[in-house]
Amino acid sequence: MVKKMFILVMVLVLTMTIFLTGCSEDKGAIPPAKKEKPNTMPIEEFNKLLDDQKLKNMGAITDVFGTADKVTQDDKGHTVWVYFDRVHYKSGNIASLLFSFYTEEEYKKFMASMGLSGEYEEGMVAKTEPLTRERLKSLYGIE
CATH number, position 127 = 3.30.1450
pLDDT at 73: 87
User: Is position 115 within any domain?
Assistant: yes
Domain that holds residue 99: 41-140
Length of the chain equals 143
pTM assigned to the model: 0.69
Determine the Cα–Cα distance for residues 1 and 104; give it in Å rounded to an integer: 100
User: Is position 13 within any domain?
Assistant: no
Buried b / exposed e along 106-141 (16+ C-beta atoms within 10 A): bbeeeeeeeeeeeeeeebbbbebebbeeeebeeebe
- In sequence order, the β-bridge partners of residue 57 are 124
User: Is position 111 within any domain?
Assistant: yes
User: Is position 102 within any domain?
Assistant: yes
User: Is position 8 within any domain?
Assistant: no
Question: With pLDDT > 70 as the criterion, what percentage of the chain qualifies?
Answer: 73
Task: Say whether pLDDT at 38 is over 70.
Answer: no
- Nearest by Cα to 90 from 39, 48, 46, 43: 43
pLDDT at 9: 42
User: Is position 121 within any domain?
Assistant: yes
pLDDT at 16: 47
Structural domain count of the chain:
1
Q: Which carries the bigger pLDDT value, residue 3 or residue 48?
A: 48
Average pLDDT, stretch 102-123?
A: 89
User: Is position 15 within any domain?
Assistant: no
pLDDT at 122: 86
Task: Say whether pLDDT at 10 is over 60.
Answer: no
Average pLDDT, stretch 56-62?
A: 95
Give residues with Cβ within 8 angstroms of 96, minimum separation 6: 82, 83, 84, 85, 86, 130, 131, 132, 133, 136
pLDDT at 77: 82
User: Is position 11 within any domain?
Assistant: no
Apex 85 CA angle, 80 and 90, nearest 5: 125
